[in-house]
Amino acid sequence: MNLAELNKVASAMVAPGRGILAADESSGTIKKRFDAIGTECTEDSRRDYREMLFRSNDAMSKCISGVILYDETIRQKAKDGTPLVKLIEKSGSIPGIKVDKGVQPLPNCPGEVVTEGLDGLGKRLDEYREMGAKFAKWRAVIDIGAGIPTYTCIRTNTHALARYAALCQEHGIVPIVEPEVLMDGDHGIDRCYEVTEFVLKEQFQELYYQRVALEGMVLKPNMAISGKKAGKRAGIEEVAEKTVKLLKACVPGAVPGIAFLSGGQSDEEATAHLDAMNKIGNLPWALTFSYGRALQAAPQKAWSGKAENVAAAQRAFSHRAMMNSLAAKGQWKQDLEKKAA
Name the nearest CA neighbour of 163 among 150, 171, 149: 171
Residue 228 known to be catalytic = no
Phi–psi pair at 221, nearest 5 degrees: -100, 170
Mutual angle of helices 27-36 and 43-54, in 10-degree steps: 80
Catalytic residue from among 134, 137, 220, 242: 220
CA distance 16 to 233: 30
Catalytic residue from among 25, 112, 178, 202: 178
Computed on alpha carbons and rounded to an integer, the radius of gyration of the chain in Å comes to 19
Q: What is the DSSP string of 96-122?
A: EEE----EEEPTT-TT-EEE---TTHH
CA distances from 100 to 71, 83, 173 (A): 10, 23, 14
CB of 272 closer than 8 Å to CB of 320: no
CA distance 110 to 105: 8
Mutual angle of helices 267-280 and 310-327, in 10-degree steps: 30
Give 16's contacts (C-beta < 8 A, 6+ positions apart): 286, 328, 329
Q: Is the dihedral of CA 295, 300, 302, 308 positive or negative?
A: positive
Peptide bond into 110 cis (omega under 30): no
The shares of helix, strand and coil residues in the chain, as percent rounded to the nearest 5, are 50, 15, 35
Phi–psi pair at 119, nearest 5 degrees: -65, 125
CB of 187 closer than 8 Å to CB of 227: yes
Residue 237 known to be catalytic = no
Q: Is the dihedral of CA 202, 204, 206, 208 positive or negative?
A: negative
Catalytic positions are: 178, 220
